Chains A and B, each alone.
Chain A
C-alpha cells in the first residue's frame, strides 16, 4: 500500500443554523481545503464525501445533491456513511482511494445540515431502532446513552464530577477555535452538574447539540507530496474500523470493545505497540463528556476506569502529558455529525503541521490518534496520524 498524507484542510463555522445550503457549506469547506493545500480542483483525481442520514438535511440522495459543492463534477465520486463514525471513516475511504493507487490526490468532504429537520433531529434518530421490538416503546437516543454512561460509572465507581470535567475542559478549549458554537471560557463543573437533567445521569451540558457545518481534507500520495513540495504533510500512519453486534443488548456497555478492535488494527498498521507511550495527543469522539473517557479507554490510551483519573489529574489538558480534544471537540466546537471530521482528522492535521494557532499544543508532538463512533452506537473508526 502507498503512503498517504493529509496536505490541506478546511471547515465552516459550526452553528445551530446556517444560511448556507448544504451545497454551499460543502463549497466553503472544500475551497478552504484546496487553498490550504495550494492546489486547484483540476489537480484532484477523486472525491469522497461523508454525511449522516438524508433525513437530517431533508434531501434524499443528498450525497449526489451536494456533490457539485464538493468539487465532484466529472470525477470519480462516492459517499460513505457509517453514522457518527463517518467523521473519521470518510478519511479512511480517502486513504484507500490513494493507498490503492487509484488516485494521487483526493478530496474528502463531509457535510451536515441538521437544522432543516423539525421539530428536532431526534425525530430521525428515533428511527434507528428496530420498528417492531423497540419502536413501540418510543425509545429516545439519550436514554440509551444514559444507560451506557450509568453502566460505565457503576462498574468503575466514577463520580459525575469527574465526567463533568471533560465538558469543562472541551468547552474551554473551544474558546481558541474560530468555528466554535459552544465555547465558554468561564464554565465550571457546577454549571454542568446544575444543568437540566435530561435522562439521569445525562444533563444538558454533558451533551453536544445539533449543528450545521461542513469540513474538507485534501489527501495525497507520497509522489504527489514530493511533486507539490508540500512542507508539512501529515501522514496517515494507521487506520482501523470495526462493528459490534447490532443488538445493543448484546454488548457490555461499560467498554467499547469495537473501538479497541479498530484501534488495534490501526496501531498494528502504524507499528504502535504501546499507545500510551507512543501517542502524543488524542481527539477521541466526544458527543457526550463520558464518551471521551470511554473512547480513551477503547483507544487503549488509558486502562479501564483510568480515564477519569487522568482527566482529574490534568493529564488531558492541552499542556498535559496526553492532550485530549485540544480542538474543543464536539462538546465545545459543535456536532454536525459527519462534519465533525474538522475537529477530529482536521485537528490532528492542524496540530501535527503546526497550524493550530492558539490551540497549538505547547510541546513537541509527533503522533496523534482520533476516533469516531456511530451507527447503532456500535461502530468504531480509528485513524493514527503522524509526522
Chain B
C-alpha cells in the first residue's frame, strides 16, 4: 500500500453500508411554547426575567441558569437590537459558492441577557458591529410558531 493510491472518495473502496433509521420529533418545551405562540399570534418577542439575578433571558427559559429559580416574569424585548458580531457566509452547505453572500449576526437587545443568532438582510458592506437592527416577521397568516417566523433582521430606519 502506498500513499500514491490514496483516494478522497471512500465510497470507491470496499465497504459495508449502514443507516441509522431514526428521525426526530421535538417539543418546544414549557417556555418555548409561550415564546413561539406569542411570536406567531401577536408578533411579540418575549424574554423571562430573574429578579434575584437581575437577568432577562432571550430566548426565554423557564429557569435562571445562575440560581435555578423558576422564572415566571415575562417581558417584551425592545424592538431594536444591535449587531454584536457578524460573519459573511460565501459557501453553501455543499461547499459550493452561494448565489449571494449571507450575513449572519449575533444580535443583542438593551437590558437583555443573550439574544439571537440570525440572518441580517442587508448588503455585507453595510453590516458592522453596533448596527441597529429590527426583526422582519412573516405576515401573521403565514407564521407557524417557529424561529423562521422571524425572516431576518433588517437595519433599523430612523
Interface residues of A (CB under 8 A from B): 17-21, 23-24, 27, 30-31, 34, 40-42, 55, 58, 68-69, 71, 73-74, 115-119, 123-124, 126-127, 131-132, 135-136
* Cross-chain contact of A69 among B20, B24, B63 (Cβ < 8 A): B63
Q: Are A21 and B28 in contact (CB under 8 A)?
A: yes
A24-B22 in contact (CB<8A): no
Contact assessment for A116 and B25 in the assembled complex, using a CB-CB cutoff below 8 Å: yes
Q: Which residues of B contact A (CB under 8 A)?
A: 16, 18, 20-33, 61-63, 65-68, 70
Contact A27 B20 (CB under 8 A): no
A116–B27 alpha-carbon span in the complex (Å): 8
CA distance A24 to B64 in the complex (A): 11
Q: Which of B20, B22, B66 has the most CB of A within 10 A?
A: B22
A30–B20 Cα gap in the complex (Å)?
32
Q: Which residues of the other chain, B, contact A24 by a CB distance below 8 angstroms?
A: 29-31, 62-63
Chain B residue, CB-CB nearest to A21 = B29
- How many Cβ-Cβ contacts under 8 Å join chain A to chain B? 76
B25 near A71: Cβ-Cβ < 8 Å: no
The listed residue with most A CB atoms (<10 A of its CB), out of B18, B27, B28, is: B27
**Contacting pair B27 A55 (CB below 8 A):** no
Nearest-Cβ distance from residue A140 to partner chain B, whole angstroms: 12
A17 to B26 alpha-carbon distance, docked (Å): 10
Among residues of B, the one whose C-beta sits closest to the C-beta of A22 is B29
Given A18-B27, A117-B24, A127-B18, 11 extra CB contacts under 8 A: A20-B29, A21-B26, A21-B27, A21-B28, A27-B62, A40-B68, A74-B66, A116-B24, A124-B20, A126-B21, A131-B16
The CA-CA distance from A119 to B23 in the complex, in Å, is 7
CB distance B63 to A20 under 8 Å? no
Min CB gap B40→A, angstroms: 17
* Assembly CA distance A65 to B91 (angstroms): 27
A109 shortest CB reach to chain B, Å: 11
Q: List B contacts of A131 (CB < 8 A).
A: 16, 18
Residues of chain B lying within 8 A (CB to CB) of residue A17: 27
Name the one of B27, B32, B66, B68 contacting A30, with C-beta atoms under 8 angstroms: B68
Q: Which of B18, B22, B70 contacts A55 (CB 8 A)?
A: B22
**Nearest B residue (CB) for A27:** B63
Ordered by A's residue number, 12 sampled pairs between the chains whose C-beta atoms are within 8 Å are A19-B27, A19-B33, A24-B29, A24-B31, A31-B63, A40-B67, A42-B67, A119-B21, A123-B22, A126-B21, A127-B18, A131-B16
Q: Which residues of A contact B16 (CB under 8 A)?
A: 131-132, 135-136
8 shortest interchain CB distances as A-B pairs: A21-B29, A58-B24, A68-B65, A123-B22, A27-B63, A73-B65, A41-B68, A123-B21
Hey, which chain A residues are within 8 Å of B18, CB to CB? 127, 131, 135
CB-defined contacts of A20 to chain B, threshold 8 Å: 27, 29-30
B contact residues around A42 at 8 Å (CB): 67
Given A118-B23, A123-B21, A124-B20, check contact A21 B65 (CB 8 Å): no
A55 to B28, CA, bound (A): 18
Q: A283 vs B33: C-alpha distance in the bound complex, in angstroms?
A: 37
- In the bound assembly, the distance between CA atoms of A26 and B20 in angstroms comes to 27
Contacts of B30 in A (CB 8 A): 19-21, 24
Bound Cα distance from A123 to B24, whole angstroms: 11
B70 pairs with A117, CB closer than 8 A: no
Whether the Cβ atoms of A31 and B68 lie closer than 8 Å is: yes
